[in-house]
Structure 1
Amino acid sequence: MSAKGVYIPKFVLVSFTVGVLGYYVVRFPLLPLSSETKLSLGYSRESLLNMTMRVAKHGFVAREYSVETKDGYVLGLQRIQTGGSVKGGKKVPVLLMHGLLQSAASWLDAGPGAGLAYLLAKDRDVWLGNVRGSHYSRRHTTLDPDSSSTYWQFSVDEIGRYDVPALIEKVLNETGSETLTYIGFSQGAGTYFIMCSELPHYCEKANLMIALAPAARQTNTKSVLYRFLTESMTYLEGVLTSLGVQEVFSKGALSQEFLAFFCQLSSLSTKICEMGKDLLDSLDSLHPGSITNDTIRTLFSNFPAGTSVHNLARYGQSMKSEYFQKFDYGQQKNLVLYGSEEPPKYNLSAVTVPILAIYGRNDGLVDTKDVQWLLQRLPNVKESMEVKDPLWNHLDVTYSQYTGEMIFPKINEYLNKYDYAS
């Protein structure tokens, strides 16, 4: 039993601790196995397909785009459509933004019956964004992510200021629509609020914002494992940087490949996937039966998808602050960067877009107290909905087999209400 009564199995805690202090934080690709070899070992075909192929397999059409931010990062952006015309008039495009350590693939991992991207794309034009440092956005116009420490000096502060507006602009330019609907999960919601604070005119480019388990301040986070990870990065960032470690938990790293490899082995998959569920439960909160074994096998081929040490350190700071504010570099550097000893607080009153917020009572990462704190400061919340399932947790948003009945109806209700482009 750990702090606040959250139980972490010993093997999970030991494995995690060893991993963080060793290879688990290092991007260390294994020798690649061919697709044929993986299939013979029992990998599911779904887990071996890239996003375009996965979408096509289920009868949708996918297209990939590259988006350049104002500070030179090159982001991946995927578009999913049915291939036919959207019924009922011209509907506003929908942009989905993933959470921390995820990529756009997370919206697909639960399959066509439960993945939110699939559910939406049946009659809407759906776009999936990827933030800097994640698997589909690990590029830059001048910096090499494999050798440049400068590339990895980013957190949600930069994602909100540069990535989100660049992706919004691309969607609007490609579709010719004046507005879009923005759906952000966790980090994907928090970075939208940052954008509105820093660049308020971008809020006018959305007709509706749907905040799924929105992450702003995280003072009351219950997850011991998540706190341990992020607060460790806060203290160890300088040491890790001096050792040349700026990227963590990337797709293709030893950690991700280990989970993907052993979870796919047909003879061991049940036991290993149960361990994978144990790990997810230790990271979040228990919700037995919500995420299927098939989804576990698929998601570990895409998760974790990478971020920077600096970003995790930023989350560690959010555990200790009562505010939603920029990275705290210490008084001296704060004075140089911000003109004040304390990091500036984000102006949540600038988030004027209509908002639907959906959250779970059992969320181990974004606590309901922090959600309520956030919603009280947003000026245009149309509705906040606590999911009726009392065990609904954080990772259920993207991976639960019950997404179609627990959160999609409310999302669809609001899309229909705000949907049609002028």
Structure 2
Amino acid sequence: MVKFLVFIVFYVSFAHESYGLTDDEDFGSMAENNPTIDEEKIFLQLAGKTDPDEVKTCGQLIESRGFEYEVHYVTTKDGYILQNFRIINRYARESGKKLKPILLLHPLFGSCSVWMFNSPGGHIKPWINGHPPKDNSAELAFLLANLGYDVWIINVRGTSYSTNHTHLDPEDPEFWDYSFYEIGIYDVTATVEHIKKETGFETIIVIGYSQGTIQLLIQMSAIPGYDKNYDLVILITPIGFLGDKSGTVGAIPIPLFKLLFGSRNGPFPPVSGSVFAALDVLCRQPIVSPACVAILGGLLGLNPQQQNASRYGVYTGLLDRTSNKNLLHYLQFIETDHLCYFDHGEEKNYELYGSAEPPEFPFYKINPKKLVFVSGLNDQLATPINVQNLRNHLCDRVDTDHVITDPYFNHADIVLAKEAFPYLNDVVSQLIDEKMLHDEL
């Protein structure tokens, strides 16, 4: 059933149609811009909103919780202009403390909003005598901001926030000629360098979730020594292998999707604003809601007991896009069961890599003492088998290897679960606090 639903979702969407350092040109802190969400809002004017968080931009989500924000436009070495967000906690700034920067990396089909849309909570809290408050927010970005960290959130190329380029038009297929490799090498690196420049910190903490972990594994293995820029690298649902067919990937008709995604460069889905707005409206309907649960559960990995079904319109309305090439690279990743460079075919592979097959990313070059793993026993993408394969390919044990105690906690529960705080956010914030305390001693 799940395999059939996955096929239908992808079919309908198609029918609808030097390393990454910032250039000298820096667009600074400006207003946010998201024409895709603007399009969704027009669509939903006819249907009406049922939740205050529906089709809110990241800036609106931040302000609705009492925080302020900055938008930082960062230009990558290959010309993509990223629209990144920085959460401003006025109480933390008034404390006079120098706030440690933390960068959050979103998953596939997500954007900055995934770190902030779990529930209506996450509101700013006053500090007492210059000390941060206790907090139990289900949204990791707001929790960390309340605890006194300088929270930055990336929006990688191709998302509805980051569709600008120094010379390429998004209508040009060349704009979409990228995958998670370029995101890891260029987007993440450019953003890290920008944060260091803006804050004056030589090192930052970085947290990746799902595709965000792929980007970090690529960056740290392809750019030896880059981990010197990080105090801690927290990989939530770490993905370095995807060969275990017992989970979500076993439902994917790989030959068909390789044919579809390999047919042209372009965004997926091609018309994201209307597609996501339509999903928002459909998933509100009682007769359709069970199908939404089944589809999202099959695609993303959900534990129904942890879900707030009344907010499915929020989640579907804030889905985001990627490139066909990125999805094609995922399919290659599943087949090879190891992160490799993009497979262009034997002739071009020889030209680019000097071999018939694309080389694997050398995980053994990563410093595991900077790494924290957070994984789940019921994760349908970062399955226990896939995570163990990654452990086996590192040169040593990671600094901390935390397995979520709820045996049913699934892949998307990381940002959607009712109990995200006790099972994830509290764990992550305590790990960071311990690291910062240790460094101060």
Give the residue type in structure 1 aligned to 2:103.
L
2:247·2:383 contact (CA, 8 Å) conserved in 1?
A: no
The structural deviation recorded for 1:136 is 1.1
Aligned to 2:150: 125
The structural deviation recorded for 1:389 is 0.7
Question: Is the aligned partner of 1:402 residue 2:419?
Answer: yes
Once the two structures are superposed, what CA deviation does each residue of 1:334-381 show, in whole Å capped at 9, x if it has no partner?
Answer: 000111112111111222151110111111122211111112223451
Question: Is the aligned partner of 1:283 residue 2:296?
Answer: no
The structural deviation recorded for 1:322 is 3.4
- Within 5 Å, which residues of 2 pair with 1:339-378? 339-352=354-367, 354-378=370-394
2:102·2:152 contact (CA, 8 Å) conserved in 1?
A: yes
Q: TM-score, normalised by structure 2?
A: 0.84
Give the residue type in structure 1 aligned to 2:279.
L
Question: Is the aligned partner of 1:386 residue 2:403?
Answer: yes
Aligned to 1:415: 432
The structural deviation recorded for 1:13 is 4.8
**In structure 1, what is the Cα distance between the partners aligned to 2:309 and 2:153?**
24
**In structure 2, what is the Cα distance between the partners aligned to 1:417 and 1:30?**
38
Question: Is the aligned partner of 1:329 residue 2:353?
Answer: no
244, 249, 261: which is aligned to 2:281? Answer: 261
**In structure 1, what is the Cα distance between the partners aligned to 2:278 and 2:190?**
34
Other structure's SS at 2:156 match: coil
Aligned to 2:169: 144
**In structure 1, what is the Cα distance between the partners aligned to 2:186 and 2:304?**
38
15, 24, 28: which is aligned to 1:22? Answer: 15
Q: Aligned pairs, how many?
A: 401
Aligned to 2:21: none
Name which of structure 1's ranges 372-381 and 73-82 shifts more when overlaid on structure 2: 372-381
- Within 5 Å, which residues of 2 pair with 1:209-248? 209-224=233-248, 228=252, 232-238=256-262, 240-241=263-264, 246-248=266-268
**In structure 2, what is the Cα distance between the partners aligned to 1:327 and 1:196?**
17
The structural deviation recorded for 1:68 is 0.5
Question: Is the aligned partner of 1:98 residue 2:106?
Answer: yes
Aligned to 1:174: 198
**In structure 1, what is the Cα distance between the partners aligned to 2:254 and 2:176?**
16
The structural deviation recorded for 1:89 is 4.8
The structural deviation recorded for 1:77 is 0.6
Question: CA 1:298–1:125 in structure 2 vs 1: closer, same or farther (change >3 Å)?
Answer: same
Once the two structures are superposed, what CA deviation does each residue of 1:271-315 show, in whole Å capped at 9, x if it has no partner?
Answer: 444332221112244512212124322111111x11111110110
Question: Is the aligned partner of 1:312 residue 2:327?
Answer: yes
76, 79, 91: which is aligned to 2:83? Answer: 76
Other structure's SS at 1:117 match: helix
**In structure 1, what is the Cα distance between the partners aligned to 2:199 and 2:372?**
24
1:221·1:367 contact (CA, 8 Å) conserved in 2?
A: no
1:226·1:365 contact (CA, 8 Å) conserved in 2?
A: no
1:74·1:132 contact (CA, 8 Å) conserved in 2?
A: yes
Question: CA 1:286–1:400 in structure 2 vs 1: closer, same or farther (change >3 Å)?
Answer: closer
User: Any gaps of 5 or more consecutive residues in structure 1?
Assistant: 1-6
**In structure 2, what is the Cα distance between the partners aligned to 1:65 and 1:216?**
30
**In structure 1, what is the Cα distance between the partners aligned to 2:404 and 2:53?**
29
The structural deviation recorded for 1:88 is 9.8
Other structure's SS at 1:62 match: strand
